[in-house]
Chain A
Amino acid sequence: MKLFTRTTIYYLLFSLPLLMLSGWLLYYNIERALQHEVDEELQNSKELWEQHLNSLPAAKDILELNNPYVQIEKTSITSNNNFYSDTLVYEPIEKENDPYRNLTVFIVRNNQHYKLSFQRSVLEHKAVFKKLIVVMSYVFGGLLLLFLLINLYINKKLWKPFNTSLEKITSLNMQQLQQVHFDKVAIREFDALNSSLNAMTGKMQADYLSMKTFTQNASHEIQTPLAIIQSKLELLLQDSQLTEQQTVAISSAFEATQRLSKLNQALLLITKIENNQFTALEKMSMKAVVEKYESFFVEMMDEKKIAFSITVKADWQLLIHPLLADMLVSNLFSNAIRYNKQQGEIIITIRDGSFEIINTSTMPAIGAAKLFHRFAKSDTATGNGLGLAIVKEICDSNNIAIQYSFNNTYHQFKLTPL
């Protein structure tokens, strides 16, 4: 979720209840104030009328005094309780019910109980009140909108240096060793952030560079003594005085240096893949890569009399470094041959977006724990135990998903885009 969305939600979460509460308080208080005023007016007229009635001669029939402001009627109810009430009164002119506030007073005159009802239209008050609510809503709505606009502005303006730095750091490509600099900004926190970022990226780049040269130098340093050992052994083999036993011993040592050298190269390759030192520049055709290796592997397959079939439903164009494409295919292919049985079977299927290699084998299914793990080779394996680890590493670094399945002596590896 974007920071702006988050802050907006928080603004709304806090301000809406607050506005609602203050709206309600305002409404409640204004209504009370208005009612209080009406009630006071009614009370005043009641007092004026009572004085007036008291000043009249006793014989005067007060029922004659009836008028729109006060209705007087006889009643049998004996009560001292005056009370206010709200009523609707039908206005014949406008043909509608209008709200009225009513004060009912009971008096005794010449032993006769009367009920006096004082009425005031509150229609105007209600109209004023309605207007007030509308204005209030506008004000509150405007306030809310203003909040959001201020928030937007703050987000745009204040966070700008942050967003600039963020953009820079996300587009930063370590393996291409781009020089990146985070500028000085006025806001102290962001400035601190930027200078830390400068220090960090500088350190990372220096480390990356030194690691890169280290791995290459390490390989160089190991390969040179290996080259010396190998050349000396090869020269030693030329000695015609050697016994057969000595020759075999030298050959074994020779083969071992070869393995050591291959192992060194494989580990170096994995490190390079992990460091993303292989940048894919163009799309590789899986079909072309497989075909490149086919003629070589056909010989190996012939040795085991393996039946090989390849089906290309549609070519898969894959964005990957050519060297890695080669390693990927050749490792999977050679595994399929190496662990195959005599008169076995290999089936390769290429579709647009998938590469599948299925082979028969006398070996059981590869356990999930061993699959793709470095040096996790089986007892009869002749490889260096890094083949599948390299395959996995290549897949991981190139957004390829690799699946392994085992079904009735058939081992299957399937590559799909992640």
Chain B
Amino acid sequence: MMKLLIIEDEVSLRDSIQQYMETQGYLCETAGNFNEAMDKIDFYDYDCILVDIGIPMGSGLDIVKELKGMKSKAGIIIISARDAVDDKIIGLQLGSDDYLTKPFHLSELNARVAAIIRRRHFDGEEKILFNEIEIHPAAKSVKVNDGYLEVTQKEYDLLIYFISNKGRVITKSALAQHIWGDHYDQAASYDFLYTHIKNLRKKLIESGAADYIKTIYGTGYKFTDN
């Protein structure tokens, strides 16, 4: 079981993250301030650490520095309310693997944690399996029942996102933001998201996979096998 450390001083947000990640099968520990966080990283190993920059008794950036100093193998995701470009650059330069700006979608956080753990632990060699669907991230290939499936980059990204958040309700905006990044708020509607999902769903069904993509009326989608 993968271990996560959530360093966040806002109790409500911390609980939300913990709750979501635990249902995704992670073992979560939390820290509400700098000292607590330092104690935990000194004693335990984690697979991925989520760090808020603005925490009491210190800065999240110092935790990143400390982790890098002790050659920790943990993946690091900075979560910050500050969208300042400088913070982002400093964070990534210090060696964090990713940067998420508040507010973020829990499904997005989950997908990023999964991606980092995959990269760190298996050098991308691990297969992502979901019943008859098999994905090789290194080759970016998708197989259904041993037959290769031709998908576009966006369909591939959507599929990974769906499988990472399997069984969860994923909102349209989370999907749109995941696929188009910061551009997505320039989009007037989710119309073009529907097109990509429709195509992915068609390809999966035609290649012999079950219809896993369920539409949740007015909300989004759920990738599930029951």
Contacts and interface: CB of A to CB of B under 8 A. Distances in A.
Interface of A: 216, 219-221, 223-224, 226-232, 234-235, 237-238, 244, 247-248, 250-252, 254-255, 257-258, 261-262, 265, 268, 293, 296-297, 299-300, 302-303, 323, 330-331, 333-334, 337-338, 382-383
Given A231-B103, A244-B217, A216 B82 contact: yes
Interface stretch (B68-76, B91-99, B166-174): B166-174
A258 B185 CA distance: 10
A234 B84 contact: no
Given A235-B20, A235-B106, A300 B171 contact: no
B218 A251 contact: yes
B10 interface: yes
Nearest to B219: A251
Nearest to A321: B85
A219 B87 CA distance: 14
A216 B84 contact: yes
13 contacts: A219-B83, A224-B10, A228-B16, A229-B103, A234-B106, A235-B16, A237-B169, A238-B23, A255-B173, A265-B83, A268-B83, A300-B188, A334-B187
Contact of A382 (B13, B19, B81, B188): B188
A227 B183 contact: no
B196 to A, nearest CB: 8
Nearest to A232: B16
Contacts of A227: 10, 13, 81, 102-104
B82 A220 contact: yes
B92 to A, nearest CB: 16
Nearest to B187: A300
Contact of B192 (A231, A251, A302, A331): A302
For the complex of A and B, list the 9 residue pairs with the smallest distance between their C-beta atoms, beginning with the closest: A231-B16, A227-B103, A334-B186, A227-B102, A248-B218, A223-B81, A251-B219, A220-B81, A338-B188
A6 B191 CA distance: 68
A358 B85 CA distance: 31
B107 interface: yes
B218 A247 contact: yes
Contacts of A300: 187-188, 192
B17 interface: yes
Contacts of A334: 186-188
B148 interface: no
A219 B81 contact: yes
B203 interface: no
Contacts of A255: 173
Interface in B94-118: 101-107
A227 B191 CA distance: 26
Given A262-B185, A303-B192, 5 more contacts: A234-B107, A251-B220, A261-B103, A323-B85, A338-B188
B145 interface: no
Contacts of B189: 303, 382
Given A261-B103, A293-B183, A296-B183, A238 B12 contact: no
A383 B82 contact: no
Most buried by A among B82, B83, B104, B188: B188
B102 to A, nearest CB: 4
A263 to B, nearest CB: 10
B129 interface: no
Given A216-B84, A231-B106, A265-B83, A247 B217 contact: yes
A247 B219 CA distance: 7
B103 A223 contact: yes
Interface string B201-221: 000000000000000111110
B124 interface: no
A221 B183 CA distance: 24
B195 interface: yes
A237 B23 CA distance: 14
A302 B12 CA distance: 42
A2 to B, nearest CB: 42
B187 to A, nearest CB: 6
Nearest to A224: B81
B17 A231 contact: yes
Nearest to B188: A338
Contacts of A226: 102-103
A237 B220 CA distance: 10
B80 to A, nearest CB: 8
A290 B107 CA distance: 31
Contact of B180 (A250, A261, A296): A296
A293 B182 CA distance: 11
Most buried by B among A252, A297, A300: A300
A330 B186 CA distance: 7
Nearest to B85: A323
Contacts of A297: 186
Given A223-B103, A227-B13, A231-B13, A237 B173 contact: no
Contacts of B84: 216
B54 interface: yes
B86 to A, nearest CB: 10
A247 B169 CA distance: 10
Contacts of A231: 12-13, 16-17, 20, 103, 106
